[in-house]
């Protein structure tokens, strides 16, 4: 029997989202049905409703979630009903060309549920990032459900499922920040602050936060920035050089998704430094660089997809860090909201008022 529940739907390009009745099937082989407790509002949800990702409307939004497994299908061994899980939008297939090369964090054929969720009239929904968790229950591939310590708060745990993981991993994995490194992070939203925390966890000795909003720079200090630079008031490249004995940083992380900040990150590096691009650009953006600077500076320019994470390895570890007081996740939760407040939360996000609005479902409210 399919489950009839409320979900947040984007029906057409640019129109406000609505809460509608959806049908979620019982889990088939390899699938898990998850009762969602909390789901953060991420930029990618807004990009879906703006038609910036695909045209496969209608979308069931939400993908930064934690909840409890309600039922599993045949052949599921990694989770059982009652388990507290974080949902991942990367569940390596093990058989694509990247997995076979031993690089599952790039998996090109990540697993998702095979049965679709639908509107009440049977219209097939596209689940955001293969999750669709602005709904009381959702259906995923069981490998997308990663079991973590159930004493963690659902609102905090869900954040590990997307933006916070992307930022932490941009520093810890893509950037390879190590003990004693100097780091600059451009953009101090949820992703940038997580890159700051990831740098601190990895042992960076100096972490320079760059933003154009003073309030964001204040928040960044709370996440572990040792220095702040207002890129709207001073040249951030010069300011970063001044803070690093004229050298520049070992790792520069771009967490805005704009050409000017990408160029600043490129030039803010020391010789042989690494630049990480975790901010997502739009299709119109281009960057021009002197080729000699690219060659002459050496190092590496690296895009970071989901922080090069492996959810089954990283989610339980990060929740343990959280519970041990080594990773503050509660600080991201600017507000908790109800399922019918997602559209308002998009506007708050656009105005830069929040780090994260988190939808809480009845079971957890
Ligand atoms: N220089 C420095 N900071 C800037 C600049 C600039 N020129 N322009 C904007 N910013 C800051 C904003 O003030 C804001 O604090 O960048 C930050 C971006 O944060 P959010 O909008 O909250 O975005 P976030 O959720 O952190 O995501 C950042 O990563 O995953 C991607 O799609 C996501 O592209 C987005 C990026
Ligand atoms: Zn794969
Ligand atoms: Zn996201």
Which residues are CB-contacts of 175 (< 8 A; sequence separation ≥ 6)? 183, 195, 199, 251, 253, 274, 276, 302, 304
**Per-residue pLDDT tens over the stretch 2-60:** 999 999 999 999 999 999 999 999 999 999 999 999 999 999 999 999 998 999 999 99
Q: In 3-state terms, what secondary structure has residue 242?
A: helix
- pTM comes to 0.97
Mean pLDDT of all residues in 270-297: 96
**Per-residue pLDDT tens over the stretch 100-118:** 999 999 999 999 999 999 9
Mean pLDDT of all residues in 128-155: 98
As a whole number of angstroms, the distance between CA 226 and CA 320 comes to 25
Q: Nearest residue CA, atom 16 of ligand 1?
A: 187
User: What would be the CATH architecture of the domain defined by 167-305?
Assistant: 3-Layer(aba) Sandwich (3.40)
> Mean pLDDT of all residues in the chain?
97
**CATH superfamily of the domain spanning 3-160+329-364:** Medium-chain alcohol dehydrogenases, catalytic domain (3.90.180.10)
Residue 362: the pLDDT is 75
For ligand 1, pick from 190, 191, 218 the residue to mutate: most ligand atoms within 8 Å of CB: 191
Mean pLDDT of all residues in 191-214: 98
For ligand 1, pick from 166, 255, 280 the residue to mutate: most ligand atoms within 8 Å of CB: 255
User: What atom in ligand 1 is closest to the CA of residue 166?
Assistant: 30
Measured in Å, how far apart are the chain's first and last C-alpha atoms? 27
Q: In 3-state terms, what secondary structure has residue 268?
A: coil
| Residue 348, CB-side half-sphere exposure with 13 Å CA sphere | 17
Residue 363: the pLDDT is 55
How crowded is residue 90: how many other Cβ atoms within 10 Å of its Cβ?
23
Alpha-carbon separation of residue 282 from 260, 268, 279, 355 (angstroms):
13, 23, 10, 21
Which residues are CB-contacts of 13 (< 8 A; sequence separation ≥ 6)? 49, 50, 51, 55, 57
Extents of the domains making up the chain: 3-160+329-364, 167-305
Instruction: Take residue 79 and report the two structure tokens written for it.
Output: 């989770």
User: What atom in ligand 1 is closest to the CA of residue 210?
Assistant: 2
Q: What's the Rg (C-alpha) of the chain? A: 20
Q: In 3-state terms, what secondary structure has residue 35?
A: strand
* Ligand 1, CB cutoff 6 Å, lining residues: 43, 163, 166, 186-192, 210-213, 216, 231, 255-258, 260-261, 278-280, 352
């Amino acid at each position: 029997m399919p489950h009839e529940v409320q979900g947040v739907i984007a029906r057409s390009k640019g129109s406000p989202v609505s809460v509608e009745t959806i049908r979620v099937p019982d889990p088939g082989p390899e699938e898990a049905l998850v009762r969602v407790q909390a789901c953060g509002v991420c930029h990618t949800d807004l990009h879906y409703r703006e038609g910036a990702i695909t045209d496969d409307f209608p979308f069931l939004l939400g993908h930064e979630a934690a909840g409890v497994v309600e039922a599993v299908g045949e052949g599921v061994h990694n989770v059982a009903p009652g388990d507290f899980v974080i949902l991942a939008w990367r569940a390596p297939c093990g058989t694509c060309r990247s997995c076979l090369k031993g690089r599952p964090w790039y998996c090109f054929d990540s697993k998702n549920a095979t049965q679709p969720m639908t509107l009440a009239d049977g219209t097939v929904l596209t689940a955001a990032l293969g999750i669709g968790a602005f709904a009381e229950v959702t259906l995923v591939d069981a490998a997308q459900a990663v079991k973590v310590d159930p004493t963690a708060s659902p609102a905090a745990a869900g954040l590990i499922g997307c933006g916070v993981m992307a930022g932490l991993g941009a520093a810890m994995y893509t950037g390879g920040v190590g003990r004693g490194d100097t780091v600059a992070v451009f953009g101090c939203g949820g992703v940038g602050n997580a890159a700051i925390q990831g740098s601190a966890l990895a042992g960076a000795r100096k972490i320079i936060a760059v933003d154009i909003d003073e309030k964001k720079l204040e928040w960044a200090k709370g996440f572990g920035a040792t220095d702040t630079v207002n890129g709207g008031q001073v040249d951030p490249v010069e300011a970063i050089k001044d803070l690093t004995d004229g050298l520049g940083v070992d790792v520069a992380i771009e967490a805005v998704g704009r050409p000017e900040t990408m160029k600043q990150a490129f030039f803010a590096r020391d010789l042989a430094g690494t630049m990480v691009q975790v901010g997502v650009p739009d299709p119109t953006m281009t960057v021009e660089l002197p080729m000699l600077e690219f060659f002459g500076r050496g190092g590496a320019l690296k895009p970071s997809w989901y922080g090069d994470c492996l959810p089954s390895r990283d989610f339980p570890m990060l929740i343990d860090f959280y519970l041990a007081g080594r990773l503050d996740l509660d600080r991201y939760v600017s507000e908790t909201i109800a399922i019918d407040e997602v559209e308002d939360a998009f506007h708050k996000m656009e105005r830069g008022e929040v780090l994260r609005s988190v939808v809480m479902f009845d079971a957890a409210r």
